[in-house]
């Protein structure tokens, strides 16, 4: 019998089915665990080496030996699954089926251990065994981080195994991790079309992407898959308005990453999304100006010729392009009839784009703006300063 002392915070990680008793130590005021099923060292070595012959010999003389655990609560099936010993795993399951449902301190079943360690053939065997024996909960089990076997299969790039898992237990698609990550989001980020097509069949499939707040439509946009995006828009229309932690919706994602095909799909589905202003007060055209996305701006204006162009601070997309040194975008604005009116437009402080260009001390930007026939260099801001005088203040600040 092995006696190990653990703090009370460790107790929550111990599988409830394991044979453990607890008492208070006579000399300490914290629990003492009496571990009644320590794994035999010979069995541990056999599982590590994949030695089925020795394992069968030990089990023949003492069947209960197969139920032994390590201090991490791993069984011999966990150990063989970690190492990828399929023959050993097949033989030990034939002798003790209950090992398929056991979990270790990471809340992993042998199936989860096999998938996480990339042993696809072994994982397929364990999956088939659980399914045949009606052990659905063992297939659905989530580890301590909330990931199930489907999460791990997709994330590790095992597409065929993922399809097997979905066929065996379709409800695997409904689980999310502690960080709110769904199998569908993983499938879209990996561009696993066949997996996605299976997952989307379940109307209860989760579609969240994680603590960053992105969802499956964000992922489809980022990967540039129009067909997937169309299906998502039809099934989960509300995902279009979901902002991530950076206040970026899927539509804004398409603009920022210059995914013109994806932007077109969204705008054809719902043209009103071109008028989007996020919770920070920024319109989509300002996002295009920030990244210099000329093609995205053209697509927006094609579907929404009167798309909003002012930011919360009153500045226009021309102000934004100048401030972010997007010279090509500035030229685009100045040569686009729909945007010509922005040339002398003032922000809340009364400054024009020319004021901004002078403040940045950028001769090229200043020259481009001054060369436009509509430019008015005499415009005064709210404190009576023209663009020319703006340069004087910049120089004075530089000296100090």
Strand partners, 34: 3, 21
Please check whether residue 395 lies inside any domain of the structure.
Answer: no
Last residue of a domain, one of 308, 332, 347: 308
- Sorted by sequence, the CB contacts under 8 Å of residue 108 that are 6+ apart come out as 78, 116, 141, 143
Q: Give, in degrees to the nearest 5, the angle at Cα 265 between 183 and 200.
A: 25
**Distances from the Cα of 300 to the Cαs of 3, 139, 272, 335, in angstroms?**
69, 46, 10, 16
Q: DSSP string covering 282-330, please?
A: -BHHHHHHHHT-HHHHHHHHHH-TT---B-TTS-BHHHHHHHTT-HHHH
pLDDT of residue 394: 54
Strand partners, 380: none
**Burial (Cβ within 10 Å: 0-12, 13-18, ≥19) of residue 286:** buried
Q: DSSP string covering 11-54, please?
A: GGGS-TTS-EEEEE-SS-SSEEEEES-BPPHHHHHHHHHT-HHH
pLDDT of residue 37: 77
Please check whether residue 128 lies inside any domain of the structure.
Answer: no
pLDDT of residue 21: 38
pLDDT of residue 397: 52
- Sorted by sequence, the CB contacts under 8 Å of residue 127 that are 6+ apart come out as 111, 139, 149, 161, 164, 165, 168
For residue 232, give the CATH number of its domain. Answer: 1.25.40.20
Please check whether residue 399 lies inside any domain of the structure.
Answer: no
Rounded Cα distance, 345 and 361, in Å: 20
Compute the half-sphere exposure of residue 86: CA atoms within 13 Å on the CB side of its CA. Answer: 12
pLDDT of residue 3: 38
Rounded Cα distance, 221 and 266, in Å: 10
pLDDT of residue 89: 98
pLDDT of residue 30: 30
Last residue of a domain, one of 89, 104, 119: 104
pLDDT of residue 387: 86
pLDDT of residue 362: 87
Rounded Cα distance, 11 and 46, in Å: 29
- Sorted by sequence, the CB contacts under 8 Å of residue 50 that are 6+ apart come out as 80, 83, 85, 87, 88
**Distances from the Cα of 253 to the Cαs of 149, 284, 328, 335, in angstroms?**
30, 10, 21, 26
Indicate the length of the chain as a whole number.
400
Please check whether residue 98 lies inside any domain of the structure.
Answer: yes
Last residue of a domain, one of 274, 291, 308: 308
Rounded Cα distance, 119 and 82, in Å: 8
Please check whether residue 178 lies inside any domain of the structure.
Answer: no
Residues of the chain with pLDDT under 70: 1-36, 391-400
Please check whether residue 250 lies inside any domain of the structure.
Answer: yes
Which residue in 319, 258, 340, 250 sits closest to 291, CA to CA? 258
Please check whether residue 372 lies inside any domain of the structure.
Answer: no
Q: Quick one: which H or E segment has residue 3? A: strand 2-5
Task: Supply the DSSP symbol for 247.
Answer: S
Rounded Cα distance, 379 and 371, in Å: 16
Please check whether residue 238 lies inside any domain of the structure.
Answer: yes
pTM of structure: 0.80
Which residue in 60, 164, 151 sits closest to 121, CA to CA? 164
Task: Supply the DSSP symbol for 5.
Answer: E
Task: Supply the DSSP symbol for 2.
Answer: E
pLDDT of residue 9: 40
pLDDT of residue 388: 82
Structural domain count, the chain: 2
Could you list the residue range(s) of the whole structural domain that residue 239 is in?
212-308
């Amino acid at each position: 019998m092995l006696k190990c002392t653990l703090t009370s915070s460790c107790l929550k990680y111990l599988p409830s089915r394991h044979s453990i008793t607890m008492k208070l130590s006579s000399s300490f005021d914290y629990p003492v665990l009496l571990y009644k099923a320590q794994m035999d060292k010979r069995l541990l070595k056999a599982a590590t080496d994949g030695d089925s012959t020795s394992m069968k010999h030990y089990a023949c003389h003492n069947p209960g030996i197969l139920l032994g655990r390590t201090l991490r609560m791993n069984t011999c099936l966990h150990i063989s699954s970690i190492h990828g010993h399929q023959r050993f795993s097949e033989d030990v399951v034939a002798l003790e089926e209950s090992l398929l449902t056991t979990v270790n301190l990471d809340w992993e079943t042998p199936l989860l251990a096999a998938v996480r360690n990339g042993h696809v053939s072994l994982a397929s065997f364990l999956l088939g065994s659980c399914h045949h024996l009606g052990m659905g909960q063992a297939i659905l089990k989530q580890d301590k981080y909330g990931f199930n076997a489907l999460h791990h299969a997709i994330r590790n790039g095992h597409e065929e195994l993922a399809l097997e898992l979905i066929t065996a237990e379709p409800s695997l698609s409904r689980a999310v991790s502690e960080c709110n990550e769904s199998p569908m989001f993983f499938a879209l980020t990996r561009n696993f079309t066949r997996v996605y097509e299976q997952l989307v069949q379940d109307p209860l499939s989760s579609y969240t992407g994680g603590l960053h707040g992105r969802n499956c439509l964000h992922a489809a946009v980022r990967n540039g898959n129009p067909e997937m995006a169309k299906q998502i828009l039809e099934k989960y229309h509300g995902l279009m308005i979901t902002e991530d932690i950076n206040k970026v919706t899927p539509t804004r994602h398409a603009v920022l990453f210059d995914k013109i095909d994806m932007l077109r799909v969204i705008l054809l589905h719902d043209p009103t999304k071109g008028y989007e202003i996020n919770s920070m007060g920024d319109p989509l055209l300002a996002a295009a100006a920030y990244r210099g996305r000329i093609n995205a701006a053209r697509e927006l204006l094609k579907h929404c010729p009167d798309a909003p162009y002012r930011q919360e601070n009153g500045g226009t997309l021309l102000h934004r392009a100048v401030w972010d040194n997007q010279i090509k975008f500035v030229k685009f604005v100045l040569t686009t009839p729909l945007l010509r009116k922005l040339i002398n437009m003032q922000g809340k402080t009364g400054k024009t784009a020319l004021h901004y260009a002078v403040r940045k001390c950028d001769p090229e930007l200043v020259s481009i703006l001054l060369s436009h026939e509509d430019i008015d260099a005499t415009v005064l801001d709210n404190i009576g300063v023209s663009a020319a005088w703006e340069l004087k203040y910049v120089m004075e600040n530089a000296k100090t």
